[in-house]
Amino acid sequence: MLTRKTESLAGIIIALIFLASCQKIAYKDKTGITDDPIDYVWDTSTVVQVTLNGTSITIDPAVAEINGSKLTITEAGTYNITGSLTDGQIVVNSKDESSVRLILNGVNITCSNSAPLYIKDSQKTIINLASGTDNYLTDGAIYSTTDEPKSALFSNSNLTIFGSGALTVTGKYKDGISTDDGLLIKSGTISVTAADDGIRGKDCVIIKSGKITVVSKGDGIKSSNTEDPLLGYVTIDSALVNITATSGDGINAKTNLSIGDGSFTIICGGGAGSIATGGPGPGGTSATGYTGTISEKGMKATNNIVITKGTFIINSADDAIHSKAGSVTINGGTFTLSTEDDGIHAPAAITFNGGNITITKCYEGVESSLITVNTGDINVFSVDDAFNATKGSATESNDGSWLYIKGGNITINASTGDGLDSNGSVAMTAGTVIVQGPQSAPEVGFDINGTFNVSGGLVIGSGPNSGNMIEGLSTTTSQYGIKATITSTLAASTLFHIQDASGNELITFKPVRSCYYIVYSSPLLLSGSTYFICTGGSSTGTMTNGIYVGGTYSGGTAKKNFTVSSKVTNVSF
C-alpha cells in the first residue's frame, strides 16, 4: 500500500515522465519530419494520373488546376506523373491536413524562369522515384521572382524523397534541391548540379540510404537553420555520397552532424593543391595553411560531429573535418584525408574510439584542446604540427590542454613542425606512438608545455638539433625512457637499434630524416639493466611505420651502452 509520501513522489515522477514525453513530442514536431511507413504505401485505386505533353498537361480525374503548361495541385492525394514539359511547372499548393504524394514516373520538366517543381504549401510532400525510371528537373538561370522559389526543386514544407528510381536535378539559378523545413531522403539515386548549394534542408537533412552525387558551387549538402538549437542538423544513416563543391563545404551542418555508415568521396575548393615545401606524404600543401576567404571544408558542423563507421575520402582546400565550437568523435571507419589546413579540428574535444585514419596532406593534423585516443590507427603527414593539443593561442606556458593516449597506434611525420605538440600535458597509458620529427630547428619531435607522463605503451621519436628546445619524457613519468643525443647526427634511413645484454632486440627504428636525438620509452626498459645502442646495419624484419618487427638485426656499429638508473636516462654518443 502506498503511503501519502510515496503517492506524492509517484505523482512527481509521473509528471516528470509526462513532461519528458511532451518534450520528446515537441522535439519531434519541431524537427518537422518523420520516417513514417505510411508515407511509402498508398491506395492504387485513388491515384490521379498526370500526363505531361511537352507544352500541355492532362489529368484524370480533373482534381487540379491546369493553365497551359503549369499544373497546380490543390488537394492532398497521390499523383502519378509521366511525360515532359519543355517550359512548364508543377506547383503544390494544398491546405489539406493530409500529405501530397508525387510519383515521378519518367518525368522531364524544364522551367526557364522558375522552379520546375515548386511546393508552395503542403502539410507534407512525398516524392516517389518510380522503379526503373529516370527523372529530370531543370530550371533557368534567371527567375521571374526573387523571394521564392529558390531552387529547381523547392519546398516550403517538409519533403521526403524515396524510391528505387533516379532523379537528376540541374539548378542553374541557385540551389538544386532546397526546403525551408526538413528534408528526408529515404532512398533513390539522386544527382544534383547547382549554381549554389546542392541539397539544402533548412531545419534538417536526414539521409537514410541512397546514392547521392552533388556538383555545386556552394555547399554540397547543407542544413542552414541558425535560429533554433534543435534544428540545423544533418544525419546520414548510410549512403553512397559523392560531392564536388568548388567554392563551399562538402557537408555543412549549422548544429550537429551524425554519420552512421556509408561511402563518402568529397572534394572542396579544388582540393589540397600541390606540394610547396617538399612535405613528407604522398603529396603536400602550402607552408602557411589555407589562405582562402570562404569556407571550403570537407565536413563541417558548428557543434558536434559523430562518425560511427564508413569509408571517407576527403580532399579539401580548407579543413577536412571541422567543428567550429564543439567536438569530433570518430568511433570507426576508414579515412583518407588531404587538406591545405587542418586534418581534424575541434575546439572542445576530439576523441578516437576506433578507425583507420590517414591524413596524407595537411598543415596541422589533429587539433583540439582535448584529444583522446582510446584506440584506432592514426597516420599523419603534416607540414606544421601533426598532433596539436591547444586552446587556440600559441604559448610556451601550460594552457591546460590535454592529449590522452590510452591505446591505438599513432604514426606522425611532420616535415617542418612539431610532431607531438601540447600546450598543456600528455598522458599515455597504452598504445604506440611513432614520431618522425621535423627536418630542422627550432621545431622538435616532442613539444610539451606541461608534463609528458607515460605509464604504458611504446614511444619512439626523432628530431633535429634544436638546442634547449629538445624534450623527452618528464621526470615524473612512471615508465622508463631514454633521450639519446647524437653528436654528428644520424643520417636519414640509418637504423637506430637497442638490445639488451643478452642480445635481445628492444627496438629497431628507421628515421626518415637525419636526426640529432631520439626519444624512446617501453615496458622493456628495466631499472638496473644495461642496454646497447647500435646504428647502421640492416634488419630482415618487416618494417611498418619505421619500426622493424621480427627478423634479425645485423651489421650495425656499437655506439653506446647505458644502464637505466632513473625514469629518464640521458645518453649521448
For residue range 134-145, list pLDDT tens digits in order: 999 999 999 999
pLDDT of residue 375: 98
| b/e map 320-336, b = 16+ CB within 10 Å | bbbbeebbbbbbbbebb
Residue 114 predicted with pLDDT over 80: yes
Q: What is the pLDDT of residues 499-508, one digit of tens each?
A: 999 999 999 9
**Cα 22 to Cα 18: distance, rounded to the nearest angstrom:** 6
Beta strands 299-301 and 481-490, pairing class: unpaired
Whether 53 contacts 41, CB under 8 Å: no
Cβ neighbors of 45 (< 8 A, separation 6 or more) are none
The CA–CA distances, whole Å, from 449 to 434, 470, 501 equal 20, 12, 35
pTM for the full predicted model: 0.92
Q: Looking at residue 274, what is its pLDDT? A: 53
Q: Any residues with CB less than 8 A from the CB of 245 and at least 6 apart, and which?
A: 198, 214, 216, 217, 218, 219, 220, 266, 267, 268, 269, 296
Could you read off the pLDDT of 198-224 as tens digits, one per residue? 999 999 999 999 999 999 999 999 999
Helix (H) or strand (E) holding 14: helix 4-31
How confident is the model at residue 32, as a pLDDT?
66
pLDDT surpassing 70 at residue 426: yes
Amino acid identity of residue 464, one-letter, is P
Decide if 237 contacts 210 (C-beta within 8 A): no
pLDDT above 70: percentage of residues in the chain: 92
pLDDT at 23: 37
Q: Report the C-alpha dihedral over residues 389, 391, 396, 398, rounded to 10 degrees.
A: -80
Q: How far apart are CA 246 and CA 215, in angstroms?
A: 8
CA distances 490 to 191, 461, 510, 519, 540, Å, are 54, 13, 10, 13, 21
Q: Which of 8-17, 79-88, 153-162, 389-398 comes out lowest in average pLDDT? A: 8-17
* Cβ pair 331, 354 in contact under 8 A: yes
Give residue 97's pLDDT.
93
pLDDT of residue 396: 80
Measured between alpha carbons, how far is 477 from 455 in angstroms, rounded to an integer?
7
Closest CA to 390 of 374, 402, 376, 381: 402
Query: What mean pLDDT comes out for the span 466-483?
Result: 95
Here the cell at position 309 is 563507421
Ordered by start, the domain boundaries in the chain are 36-195, 242-384, 481-572
Neighbours of 556 (CB within 10 A): 20
**Whole-angstrom distance, CA of residue 209 vs CA of residue 31:** 19
pLDDT tens digits along 220-271: 999 999 999 999 999 999 999 999 999 999 999 999 999 999 999 999 999 9
pLDDT at 447 over 60: yes
> Per DSSP, what are the bridge partners of residue 447?
421
| Phi, psi at 251, each rounded to 5° | -125, 130
Rg (CA), the chain: 30
Provide the mean pLDDT of the chain: 92
C-alpha distances out from residue 97 to 74, 76, 120, 125, 489, Å: 12, 8, 15, 11, 78
- In the prediction, which pLDDT does 17 show? 35
**Per-residue confidence (pLDDT) for residue 287, from 0 to 100:** 53
The model's pLDDT over 538-559, given as tens digits with 9 standing for 90+, comes to 999 999 999 999 999 999 999 9
Query: In this structure, are strands 568-572 and 542-544 parallel, antiparallel, or unpaired?
Result: unpaired
Those residues with Cβ within 8 angstroms of residue 20's Cβ, 6 or more apart along the chain or in another chain: none
CA distance 400 to 382: 24
Q: How would you classify residue 18: left for phi > 0, otherwise alpha for psi between -120 and 50, otherwise beta?
A: alpha
Torsion of CA 257, 259, 260, 265, to 10 degrees: 180
Q: How confident is the model at residue 25 (pLDDT cuts 50, 70, 90)?
A: very low
472 versus 392: which is more confidently predicted? 472
User: Quick check: 316 and 268 in contact, CB under 8 A?
Assistant: yes
pLDDT at 286: 52
pLDDT tens-digit profile of 305-360? Answer: 999 999 999 999 999 999 999 999 999 999 999 999 999 999 999 999 999 999 99
Q: Please name every residue paired with 370 in a beta bridge, in sequence order, or none if there are none.
A: 402
